[in-house]
Structure 1
Amino acid sequence: MNSKVKHIPPTLESLTRSTLLCLTAIGVIASITPAFLIALVPLSVAFYFIQKYFRVASKHEARFKQRMLELTDTNNTAYLFLSAANRWLEVRTLTNYLNWVVRNLADLEVQMAAVEKVNTFLGTGSENYDGSMDSSQVPENWPQDGEIKIQDLCVRYDSSLKAVLKHVNASIKPGQKVGICGRTGSGKSSLSLAFFNMVDIFEGKIVIDGIDICKLPLQTLRSRLSIILQDPVLFSGSIRFNLDPERKCTDDRLWEALEIAQLKNMVKALPGGLDAVVTEGGENFSVGQRQLFCLARAFVRKSSILIMDEATASIDMATENILQKVVMTAFSDRTVVTIAHRVHTILTADLVIVMKRGNILEYDKPDTLLEQEDGMFASFVRADM
């Protein structure tokens, strides 16, 4: 979203420039060939209605699919229609000014969706950060074991919406490696958000090491768990800040984490080492490197519970193998819950949970589930081969 917002000024500048150039070209043509104005009138009317349709479609996309800021197929169709419609005028002027006007308008519409999202967030009510438990009542080393009990859990994103998780029950023992899979919309990511109390848990509860997470202050809860997302998150600053924002760890600990994530040699070669600059969003590193930095950060935090929400979806197979190897070794004594993007990544898990439409459909060891040839997990594995 930040990248979309920061591109608005140059896009606006480009739109203004291309619009003025286009108007100038039209003026020159009209002065030489006045009959051109007759053809320009119906073309202008057509462009007006097409652009009006595009704006409505773009706003609809921004409102109902907040995670997608790119153009949808419908928007692409409109854009292609716009491009095709201006070919005659483009040939007539021997320029591509109008083409750039259309392109810049399309880009600006999409980028302004990010501004609309920011405005929506500003109007969103604050979460209940305090909880019913005081932070002093929470043991300093909680969660120490990493035992998770999900009891009759029901989750929704808003009180006016339907439940996305419906009476989910599961028990995860300390140190277990658990894989969660299912089709799109099955509730996998909603469950990962529930661990951090980022959705409305209106019925049931999640108990971690004997404490209902809904009773905890949000700062306490979210600072004690670790998560690696599909899109790795790095912050502007230094590598040291990204690994240890609270500056609680020694350099030796940070270098150990980087070595485990196989980033030590790369960081040593950078000017400043641990103090090397990380640009906004970590754009001076590859996606795979960013994901490994997130893995190193999770190791530094020493949390007994690690959530991996489709963490391998955006990385290549080589980086995925590194990540999986680190999880199985450096996190061998920690509870790891993996929301699987590729089913083969959870074949070695201790427990597999298959979800469908907000319910648990299958729940057992992967070998046991594979024996059920007509089961959903077995079908996922066959499709992934």
Structure 2
Amino acid sequence: MGGVVVLAASLFSVLERGNISSAIVGLSVSYALQITEILAWFVRMVSEFETNIVSVERIGQYTANKTEAPLHSDVQLPVDWPSEGSIELRSYCTRYRDGLPLVLQNLHVKFKPGEKVGIVGRTGAGKSSLTLALFRLIEAAEGSIVIDGEDISRLGLHDLRSRLTILPQEPVLFSGSLRMNLDPLGAHNDDDLWASLDHAHLKTFIEGLPGQLEYEVGEGGQNLSVGQRQLICLARSLLRKMKILVLDEATAAVDLETDSLIQDTISSEFGDCTVLTIAHRLNTVMEYDKILVLSDGRILEYDRPQTLLADSNSAFYAMAKDAGLVSCE
């Protein structure tokens, strides 16, 4: 377009050379030559405007999004809730957002207080979705989850989540002191911190660090190994020690030795707690009280592991056979 304008100015200057002065000709051509630069600047401004307007579009989307439930509700919970740790799913269904298919479908099961339940299934069976539902990161489409007689949909999010403990697959650490990572709210004394580190098999390692509890942890725990990060998260869980503990493939990224340490600690320190374990290695849940087998968001089997293994036609038997935990006949 700039070239066309320059060509037109030059052409008209030649055609009208007898009617206009040379000064006007020079002025018109010089202005025409600036058109290209002006158009380039215009295109650049339009591009920057289009880039910056994305933030406005995002704000518009966020304001239209449905917000989470309030952090607190009018329901007054006892100080020690949950005191038993019973969990019951009543015809529970959920999806990640409206318009998507159900990821959990008509789950009806009860976990008794103090039970150790292993949750297994193939990829996409709905294991992690069950964890998200328990913490209300996704809300129920139908049915309900009841913990110690309280429907969790009636509770505030903070009231609920502060009473449950989870040990996630990816250990979460923040840049700051080890003390802050273990006890972010400063609710425990040094004796409690050292006791939790001892139970997590980290006391000797921490004693050898410069500053010990004041040792500076890098962003995301980059100056610690994956196993050490997971054990620190375990120590943090020991400090809270609620009646319900959820392990979301907590040992998937650690070696067998660290896995064994974590399982031993859970068995000894959470003996009276209800433990729900999404199993990455089937051998970690073989000694549990019950096994819940999920498939496509539905309950396929729920029984004692010995009972499921005794049935060669069960889905759990097939999974254990694939993992090499039962002999092939």
TM-score over 0.5 (shorter chain)? yes
Match of 1:286 among 225, 239, 243: 225
The partner residue of 1:262 within 201, 205, 208 is: 201
Q: Corresponding residue for 1:228?
A: 167
- Which residue is equivalent to 2:290? 351
Larger RCO of the pair (alpha carbons < 8 Å, separation 6+): 2
Report the TM-score when normalising by structure 1: 0.67
Structure-1 residue corresponding to 2:118: 179
Matched, 1:210 2:149: yes
Structure 2 contact 71–159 (Cα < 8 Å) conserved: no
Instruction: Verify: 1:320 aligned to 2:259, yes or no.
Output: yes
1:212-271 deviations in whole A, cap 9, x for unaligned?
A: 111111011111101111111111111111111111111111101000010011111111
Q: Compare the two structures and name the one with the higher helix fraction.
A: 1
CA contact (8 A) 2:126 2:295 kept: yes
The equivalent residue for 1:134 is 74
Instruction: Give the Å deviation of 1:331.
Output: 0.8
Whose Rg is larger?
2
State the partner residue of 1:342: 281
How many percent identity over aligned positions?
48
Q: Give the whole-Å Cα distance in 2 for the aligned partners of 1:210 and 1:332.
A: 22
* Residues 138-184 of structure 1: per-residue CA shift (max 9 Å, x gap): 11111111111111100110012111000001111111100000000
The structural deviation recorded for 1:302 is: 2.0
Using structure 2 for the length normalisation, give the TM-score: 0.78
Is the Cα–Cα contact under 8 Å of residues 159 and 200 in structure 1 kept in the other structure? no
Aligned pair count reads: 267
- Distance in 2 between residues matched to 1:230 and 1:380, nearest whole Å: 21
User: Secondary structure of 2:277's match?
Assistant: strand
Q: State whether residues 177 and 215 of structure 2, in contact with CA within 8 Å, keep that contact through their aligned partners in structure 1.
A: yes
User: 2:69 is matched by which residue type in structure 1?
Assistant: N
Deviation at 1:125?
4.3
User: Which portions of structure 1, spanning 4 or more consecutive aligned residues, are displaced by more than 3 angstroms?
Assistant: none
Cα distance between partner residues in 1 of 2:113 and 2:214: 36
Q: In structure 1, what is the Cα distance between the partners aligned to 2:261 and 2:245?
A: 16
Tell me, yes or no, if structure 1 residue 333 matches structure 2 residue 272. Answer: yes
- The residue that corresponds to 1:243 in the other structure is 182
Select 1:197's aligned residue among 136, 140, 159: 136
- Hey, what does 1:169 align to over in structure 2? 108
Question: Structure 1: where are the runs of 5+ without partners?
Answer: 1-115
SS at match of 2:179: helix
Q: In the alignment, is the contact (CA less than 8 A) between 2:84 and 2:113 conserved in 1?
A: yes
Supply the distance in 2 between the matched residues of 1:214 and 1:280 (Cα, whole angstroms): 35
The residue number in structure 2 matching 1:380 is 319
Is the 8 Å Cα contact of residues 179 and 337 (structure 1) preserved in structure 2? yes
2 CA distance for matches of 1:175 and 1:151? 20
Gaps of 5+ in 2: 1-54, 325-329
The CA distance in 1 between the partners of 2:66 and 2:214, in whole Å, is 37
Give the superposition deviation at 1:318. 0.6
1-structure distance, mates of 2:115, 2:264: 16
Match of 1:365 in 2: 304
